[in-house]
Amino acid sequence: MADKIRVLLSEEEVNKRINEIAAEINRDYAGKKVHLICILKGGVFFTCELAKRITVPVSLDFMSVSSYGSGTESSGVVKIIKDLDEPLEGKDVLIVEDIIDSGRTLSYLIEVLKQRNPATIQLCTLLDKPERRVKKQVQVQYTCFTIPDEFVVGYGLDYDQHYRNLPYIGVIEK
């Protein structure tokens, strides 16, 4: 790939902020067990790093939900590609996402998961683009970084399956 990538958030900045968010989660979930739901594929890098820093008991499950396909713009059609392996009834659920922009995917997902009777559902994201939010009711409890409306890659985020493995958040410069 010959794309030029500008560093938006360095690996050090990302790691420092994940430590801070994990400390907030540890405080908020003290005395409880948190059930992390990692949204694949992009969320896996962030979820693993976050889980390593959480000191309260953690369980983990994975879900794959898409509204993108192979482009850079949301299609608006949400599909569950891989569902959870475990029931959610009575669990304190924390959905872990790599990026939230329009909110369509998470709005749909939260409604689906509420029907499974968890004790609580909250959201944690590495990156948030609130200016792109279409579904205003999506409330994010834990946000590492609020970023401008640029297409970002790295730390799990991809452009057509490329650049997920970058240890930082970057912007492809055309």
For the four alpha carbons of 48, 125, 161 and 67, in that order, the dihedral sign comes to positive
Residue 94 in contact with residue 124, Cβ under 8 Å? yes
Please say if 158 is a catalytic residue. Answer: no
Q: Which two tokens stand for residue 131?
A: 């200016």
Alpha carbons 30 and 59: distance in angstroms, whole number = 15
* Residue given tokens 């059609």 in the structure block: 77
Q: Which two tokens stand for residue 57?
A: 């008991």
SS3 171: strand
Residue 117 in contact with residue 105, Cβ under 8 Å? no
Indicate which residue of 101, 128, 149, 160 is catalytic: 101
Backbone angles phi, psi at 111, to 5 degrees: -60, -40
Distance in angstroms between the alpha carbons of the first and the last residue of the chain:
12
Supply the residues annotated as catalytic: 101
